[in-house]
Amino acid sequence: MDVHRAEIDAFLAGSTKQPEAVLMAESAEGKAIGFVELSLRSYAEGCDTSPVAYLEGWFVENAYRRRGIGGALVEAAEDWGRRQGCTEFASDAPASNDTSRVSHLGLGFEEAGLIRCFRKSL
Ligand SMILES: CC(C)(COP(=O)(O)OP(=O)(O)OC[C@H]1O[C@@H](n2cnc3c(N)ncnc32)[C@H](O)[C@@H]1OP(=O)(O)O)[C@@H](O)C(=O)NCCC(=O)NCCS
Protein backbone atom coordinates (compact mmCIF):
# COMPACT_ATOMS: atom_id res chain seq x y z
CA MET A 1 0.00 0.00 0.00
CA ASP A 2 2.81 2.44 0.95
CA VAL A 3 4.67 1.48 -2.23
CA HIS A 4 1.53 2.19 -4.26
CA ARG A 5 1.00 5.54 -2.54
CA ALA A 6 4.62 6.54 -3.26
CA GLU A 7 4.17 5.56 -6.93
CA ILE A 8 0.95 7.60 -7.18
CA ASP A 9 2.61 10.62 -5.55
CA ALA A 10 5.55 10.35 -7.97
CA PHE A 11 3.17 10.07 -10.96
CA LEU A 12 1.13 13.12 -9.88
CA ALA A 13 4.33 15.09 -9.26
CA GLY A 14 5.44 14.28 -12.82
CA SER A 15 8.67 12.72 -11.56
CA THR A 16 8.14 9.28 -13.07
CA LYS A 17 8.05 8.17 -16.72
CA GLN A 18 5.91 5.09 -16.08
CA PRO A 19 3.01 4.82 -16.50
CA GLU A 20 2.66 7.44 -19.24
CA ALA A 21 -1.06 7.89 -18.57
CA VAL A 22 -3.66 6.85 -16.01
CA LEU A 23 -7.38 6.97 -16.83
CA MET A 24 -9.85 6.78 -13.97
CA ALA A 25 -13.49 5.69 -13.75
CA GLU A 26 -15.71 7.47 -11.23
CA SER A 27 -19.08 6.47 -9.78
CA ALA A 28 -22.01 8.90 -10.02
CA GLU A 29 -21.01 10.04 -6.51
CA GLY A 30 -17.49 10.90 -7.66
CA LYS A 31 -15.82 7.90 -6.00
CA ALA A 32 -12.84 6.40 -7.84
CA ILE A 33 -13.93 2.88 -8.83
CA GLY A 34 -11.47 1.84 -11.52
CA PHE A 35 -8.42 2.73 -13.53
CA VAL A 36 -6.14 1.80 -16.40
CA GLU A 37 -2.40 2.49 -16.40
CA LEU A 38 -0.92 2.94 -19.88
CA SER A 39 2.48 3.07 -21.47
CA LEU A 40 4.16 2.93 -24.85
CA ARG A 41 6.40 -0.11 -25.29
CA SER A 42 8.93 -0.41 -28.08
CA TYR A 43 8.08 -4.13 -28.40
CA ALA A 44 5.09 -6.22 -27.40
CA GLU A 45 4.65 -9.96 -27.92
CA GLY A 46 2.76 -10.74 -31.13
CA CYS A 47 2.81 -7.15 -32.40
CA ASP A 48 4.28 -5.97 -35.70
CA THR A 49 4.49 -2.23 -35.04
CA SER A 50 6.41 -0.01 -32.66
CA PRO A 51 5.71 1.65 -30.34
CA VAL A 52 2.73 -0.30 -29.04
CA ALA A 53 0.15 1.16 -26.65
CA TYR A 54 0.29 -1.09 -23.58
CA LEU A 55 -2.20 -1.83 -20.81
CA GLU A 56 0.08 -1.93 -17.77
CA GLY A 57 -2.61 -2.02 -15.11
CA TRP A 58 -6.38 -2.52 -15.18
CA PHE A 59 -8.67 -2.60 -12.16
CA VAL A 60 -12.34 -2.12 -11.30
CA GLU A 61 -13.63 -2.27 -7.72
CA ASN A 62 -15.26 -5.63 -7.04
CA ALA A 63 -18.75 -4.18 -6.42
CA TYR A 64 -18.73 -2.44 -9.82
CA ARG A 65 -17.55 -5.32 -12.02
CA ARG A 66 -19.52 -6.82 -14.93
CA ARG A 67 -21.23 -3.50 -15.68
CA GLY A 68 -19.10 -2.47 -18.63
CA ILE A 69 -16.75 -0.20 -16.67
CA GLY A 70 -13.62 -2.22 -17.46
CA GLY A 71 -14.67 -2.19 -21.11
CA ALA A 72 -15.24 1.56 -21.09
CA LEU A 73 -11.78 2.06 -19.59
CA VAL A 74 -10.22 -0.12 -22.29
CA GLU A 75 -12.10 1.81 -24.98
CA ALA A 76 -10.76 5.11 -23.57
CA ALA A 77 -7.29 3.52 -23.42
CA GLU A 78 -7.56 2.56 -27.10
CA ASP A 79 -8.43 6.16 -27.97
CA TRP A 80 -5.35 7.25 -26.00
CA GLY A 81 -3.22 4.79 -27.96
CA ARG A 82 -4.56 6.06 -31.30
CA ARG A 83 -3.76 9.63 -30.23
CA GLN A 84 -0.16 8.48 -29.60
CA GLY A 85 -0.06 7.26 -33.21
CA CYS A 86 -0.25 3.56 -32.32
CA THR A 87 -2.05 1.01 -34.44
CA GLU A 88 -1.75 -1.89 -31.97
CA PHE A 89 -2.73 -2.26 -28.31
CA ALA A 90 -1.24 -4.99 -26.11
CA SER A 91 -1.48 -6.29 -22.57
CA ASP A 92 -0.54 -9.22 -20.37
CA ALA A 93 -1.91 -11.13 -17.42
CA PRO A 94 -0.63 -13.83 -15.06
CA ALA A 95 -1.49 -17.25 -16.51
CA SER A 96 -3.53 -17.96 -13.35
CA ASN A 97 -5.82 -14.90 -13.74
CA ASP A 98 -8.83 -16.39 -15.52
CA THR A 99 -11.02 -13.31 -15.05
CA SER A 100 -8.41 -11.18 -16.74
CA ARG A 101 -8.13 -13.69 -19.59
CA VAL A 102 -11.87 -13.80 -20.28
CA SER A 103 -12.13 -10.01 -19.90
CA HIS A 104 -9.36 -9.42 -22.44
CA LEU A 105 -10.92 -11.92 -24.86
CA GLY A 106 -14.40 -10.45 -24.28
CA LEU A 107 -13.08 -7.03 -25.26
CA GLY A 108 -11.52 -8.12 -28.54
CA PHE A 109 -7.94 -8.95 -27.54
CA GLU A 110 -6.50 -12.15 -29.00
CA GLU A 111 -3.98 -14.30 -27.17
CA ALA A 112 -0.45 -13.64 -28.46
CA GLY A 113 1.28 -16.37 -26.47
CA LEU A 114 2.22 -17.64 -23.03
CA ILE A 115 5.67 -16.84 -21.66
CA ARG A 116 7.60 -18.01 -18.60
CA CYS A 117 9.52 -15.26 -16.75
CA PHE A 118 12.93 -15.57 -15.06
CA ARG A 119 15.13 -13.34 -12.88
CA LYS A 120 18.44 -13.36 -11.07
CA SER A 121 20.13 -10.81 -8.85
CA LEU A 122 23.11 -8.87 -10.19
C1 LIG B 1 -10.55 -7.37 -15.34
C2 LIG B 1 -11.53 -6.31 -14.83
C3 LIG B 1 -10.83 -4.93 -14.86
C4 LIG B 1 -12.76 -6.25 -15.76
O5 LIG B 1 -13.59 -5.18 -15.34
P6 LIG B 1 -15.17 -5.21 -15.54
O7 LIG B 1 -15.70 -3.84 -15.24
O8 LIG B 1 -15.78 -6.33 -14.81
O9 LIG B 1 -15.28 -5.46 -17.11
P10 LIG B 1 -16.60 -5.38 -18.02
O11 LIG B 1 -17.84 -5.40 -17.19
O12 LIG B 1 -16.43 -4.23 -18.96
O13 LIG B 1 -16.51 -6.76 -18.83
C14 LIG B 1 -16.02 -6.80 -20.17
C15 LIG B 1 -16.18 -8.20 -20.72
O16 LIG B 1 -15.20 -9.07 -20.12
C17 LIG B 1 -15.80 -10.36 -19.91
N18 LIG B 1 -15.82 -10.62 -18.46
C19 LIG B 1 -15.44 -9.78 -17.47
N20 LIG B 1 -15.52 -10.38 -16.26
C21 LIG B 1 -15.92 -11.64 -16.51
C22 LIG B 1 -16.17 -12.78 -15.67
N23 LIG B 1 -16.03 -12.70 -14.33
N24 LIG B 1 -16.57 -13.93 -16.25
C25 LIG B 1 -16.73 -14.03 -17.60
N26 LIG B 1 -16.51 -12.97 -18.45
C27 LIG B 1 -16.11 -11.80 -17.91
C28 LIG B 1 -17.17 -10.33 -20.52
O29 LIG B 1 -17.06 -10.69 -21.90
C30 LIG B 1 -17.50 -8.87 -20.40
O31 LIG B 1 -18.46 -8.41 -21.31
P32 LIG B 1 -20.03 -8.67 -20.98
O33 LIG B 1 -20.27 -8.29 -19.54
O34 LIG B 1 -20.72 -7.79 -21.97
O35 LIG B 1 -20.26 -10.14 -21.18
C36 LIG B 1 -11.99 -6.64 -13.39
O37 LIG B 1 -12.49 -7.96 -13.36
C38 LIG B 1 -10.89 -6.53 -12.33
O39 LIG B 1 -10.57 -5.43 -11.84
N40 LIG B 1 -10.28 -7.68 -11.96
C41 LIG B 1 -9.21 -7.68 -10.92
C42 LIG B 1 -7.94 -7.03 -11.41
C43 LIG B 1 -7.40 -7.74 -12.61
O44 LIG B 1 -7.30 -8.95 -12.66
N45 LIG B 1 -7.03 -6.93 -13.62
C46 LIG B 1 -6.41 -7.41 -14.82
C47 LIG B 1 -4.95 -7.53 -14.55
S48 LIG B 1 -4.10 -8.30 -15.88
112 is a domain residue: no
Q: Flag whether pLDDT at 1 surpasses 70.
A: no
Any domain includes 118: no
67 CB under 6 A from ligand 1?
Answer: yes
Strands (E), the chain: 21-26, 32-41, 52-60, 89-91
CA distance 57 to 24: 11
Return the pLDDT at 32: 97
- Determine, yes or no, domain membership for 11: no
Separation of 13 CA from ligand 1 center, angstroms? 31
Query: 50-80, pLDDT tens digit by residue?
Result: 999 999 999 999 999 999 999 999 999 999 9
What predicted TM-score, i.e. pTM, was given to this entire model? 0.94
Range of the domain at 72: 20-106
Domain holding 67: CATH number?
A: 3.40.630.30
CB environment 68-86: b (16+ within 10 A), e (fewer):
ebbeebbebbbebbeeeeb
Atom of ligand 1 nearest to the CA of 66: 11
What is the structure's pLDDT at 34?
A: 98
How many independent structural domains does the chain possess?
A: 1
User: Residue 58's beta-bridge partner residues?
Assistant: 36
| Ligand 1: centre distance to CA 70 (Å) | 6
How many angstroms separate the CA atoms of 33 and 116, rounded?
A: 32
Q: Is residue 73, in this structure, part of any structural domain at all?
A: yes
Is 84 a domain residue? yes
